[in-house]
A and B are shown apart, each in its own frame.
Chain A
Amino acid sequence: MSDLALEHLTKIYPGSETPAVEGVSLNVESGSLTALLGPSACGKSTILKMIAGLLTPTSGDIRFAGSSVLKQPPQSRDAVMVFQDHLLFPYLTVGENVGFGLKMRVQAKAKINRAVGEILELVQLSGLEQRKPSELSGGQQQRVALARALILRPRILLLDEPFSNLDESLRLEMQTLLKSLHAEMKTTMLFVTHDQEEAITLADKIALLLSGRLRQYDIPQNLYNHPKDREVAQFFGARNFISGRVEAGKFDCPLGQIVLPENAPADGRLLTIRPENIVIGSNASSDNSFPATIASKKFLGSQTRLELDATGQELTVLLSPNIAESLQAGTEIIIQLPRQSLWVLP
């Protein structure tokens, strides 16, 4: 069942001619963890603020469980937002910060205290109720911000790049915490990120936004392996694009005829394969095998990048440094494009 639906949502800021968000339609399933992914200034946070009621859409509709919420003020929407900068109230203690929402709902003090204790235990911050936010680490502050939102048990939890200010290890820790909180509370969560790895790791589904438009909304595996178009593929790191056309289950291009997977689109004009999926040193007579010359080699740490020239077609390959050790620029090799790793784009 759809918990949140965006219908042709558009936002044009006053004084701007270009829409920050244009015609975005999206159905978020109840209890799911969905990522709004995209580069900076693509409209991700604007969408979140419109859902929270902090911004008014120029056109379109926002529905919670089928009912439009456009006329409801933020405090009545039951959608709580966690901001990138956590924004804890500096003059309140941790306990007061976490209990803020319940206090605004005029709950009894004893009930607030009990709920604060429970939620702080859930985010592993028990015993820190009396501390001020300035006495906490960055990770602890973000946990408090999460607890402050989760204590209200909102219908929808909106997270605006919640972990982007944290260092790598803290970010991983917080991602694990968020995943476990989601599993336990089953709250519908929509989080904004520009980090594709974070989106793939956390989300049940990813909505990719580019220049204010929704480009693909799908499970992470499909966005990664079956992108809808060249821009989506490029956003997820695809570098190999071969022009040609599909004919009878094969892709006809300057390299030759490439056998496609059975589920490949039948009318594409661009073949793509991820750099890490190209196989080096296979038998020249096997399917989809072609001769190539190594144009350059670059050590990247955990991987080595090879730039290849395959009959005039430039291809990029990513290999483990151990495998790439014996390969040098100028060496002629055989590459294979495994059938199941190929995808055809419009």
Chain B
Amino acid sequence: MLSPALLIVCGLFIGGLALGFVGSLGYMPLIGQETFNLDAYRQILLSERFLLSFLLTFHIAFTSTVIASLLALGAALILRQSFLGRSVINFLFQINLTVPHLVGAVGILYLFSQSGVFARLAYEFSLISKPSEFPAMIFDPLAIGIIMQYVWKEIPFIGLILLANMQTIGRDYEAVAQSLGASRWQSFRHVLLPLLMPGLLTSGMIVFAFTFGAYEIPALLGQNYPAALPVLAYQAFTDVDLNARPEALAMAMIIALLSAVMIYGYARFTRRYIRK
């Protein structure tokens, strides 16, 4: 029953990966290159531009994931309680899941750029003497706008997974811990958090992989140099000089590999931290 779906998914995924890998090795019969070499990888790994792009992309993915995970955990803990208006708050919490990333990015641009709503409000209230004095959060070196967008969008995603986990876990384990002498903080730290870790890790990894490999938000809200890795790869791929294409494909291969390695590392780091 699963075979047709698996065939399509695996065919497209493995096929695309294989074609990209072959292209990254310099094999491009279209422009007369019919030999395999590692020149594209060598050039990329030795270039400062790539290194800076990698650091920026890692910073965006890691910071977004950590902030979104922490805020989602806090939100899930609050939404787990019974209080008046909980269903309304719960609805509002989930609503931006339906908003596309691009729409969110335009919103961030509209609100937080130096010509945006907050800059103009700050100017109107004489907090700044001209809009350009408003802190740069868009096209900035720290990628604050990009991180804000990802955090805003991913909190409900992680939060919903955690809420579902909390419902499954129930409150009995915490009751046991309290009965055994744990304070509320201890029962959270030593019981609920470890029980939530699989869900937190899984959702964190999905967010990390997505933010590490996503193109459109860094393209819209990011600076030109250094650009995020997917933006750099796209620029090279669409270069009029076809000789740049093996480098673009090598970059894509490296992004895929780094994503896999970093997801593994993130999982190990978090697990070890929580078990301490």
Contacts and interface: CB of A to CB of B under 8 A. Distances in A.
A75 B181 contact: yes
Interface in A50-104: 52-54, 73-75, 79-81, 83, 85, 87, 89-91, 100-101, 103-104
Interface string B196-230: 01000000000000000000000000000000000
B173 A152 contact: no
B176 A81 contact: yes
Contact of A104 (B172, B173, B182): B182
A104 B176 contact: no
A270 to B, nearest CB: 43
B179 A104 contact: no
Given A104-B186, A104-B190, A87 B178 contact: no
A100 B182 CA distance: 9
A85 B176 CA distance: 11
Contacts of A79: 179
A68 B131 CA distance: 64
Interface majority SS (helix, strand, loop, mixed), chain A: mixed
Say what secondary structure dominates the interface of chain B: helix
B183 interface: yes
A114 interface: no
Given A91-B195, A104-B190, A83 B182 contact: no
A104 B195 contact: no
For chain B, the bracket of interface size reads 10 to 19
Given A87-B172, A89-B173, A81 B190 contact: no
Contact size range, A: 20 to 34
A148 interface: yes
A148 B191 CA distance: 15
A171 to B, nearest CB: 21
Contacts of B197: 91
Given A87-B172, A87-B173, A89-B173, A74 B191 contact: no
Contact of B181 (A54, A90, A104, A158): A104
Given A83-B172, A91-B194, A101 B180 contact: yes
B175 interface: yes
Contact of A85 (B172, B180, B194): B172
B71 interface: no
Interface string A153-185: 000001000000000000000000000000000
Contacts of A53: 178-179
A335 B179 CA distance: 55
Contact of A89 (B181, B183, B191): B191
Interface string A131-156: 00000000000000000110010000
A142 to B, nearest CB: 13
A100 B179 contact: no
Interface in B128-184: 172-173, 175-183
Contacts of B275: 91
B238 to A, nearest CB: 48
Contact of A75 (B172, B173, B183, B194): B183
Nearest to A87: B176
A103 B191 CA distance: 13
Interface in A96-118: 100-101, 103-105
Contacts of B181: 75, 80, 101, 104-105, 152
Nearest to A79: B179
B179 A52 contact: yes
Contacts of B183: 73, 75, 104
Contact of B176 (A83, A105, A152): A83
Contact of A54 (B178, B186, B190, B191): B178
Most A-side CB within 10 Å, residue of B172, B173, B178, B183? B178
A104 B175 contact: no
B156 to A, nearest CB: 27
A152 B172 contact: no
A100 B194 contact: no
Nearest to B172: A87
Nearest to A158: B179
Contacts of A87: 172-173, 176
Contacts of A100: 177, 180, 182, 190
Given A73-B178, A75-B183, 11 more contacts: A54-B175, A54-B179, A74-B178, A75-B178, A87-B172, A89-B191, A91-B275, A101-B181, A105-B181, A152-B180, A158-B179
18 contacts: A54-B175, A73-B178, A74-B178, A75-B183, A81-B179, A85-B172, A87-B172, A87-B173, A87-B176, A89-B194, A90-B195, A91-B195, A91-B197, A101-B182, A103-B190, A104-B180, A104-B181, A104-B186
Per CB-CB distance, the 4 closest pairs between chain A and chain B, nearest first, are A101-B180, A74-B178, A81-B179, A104-B182
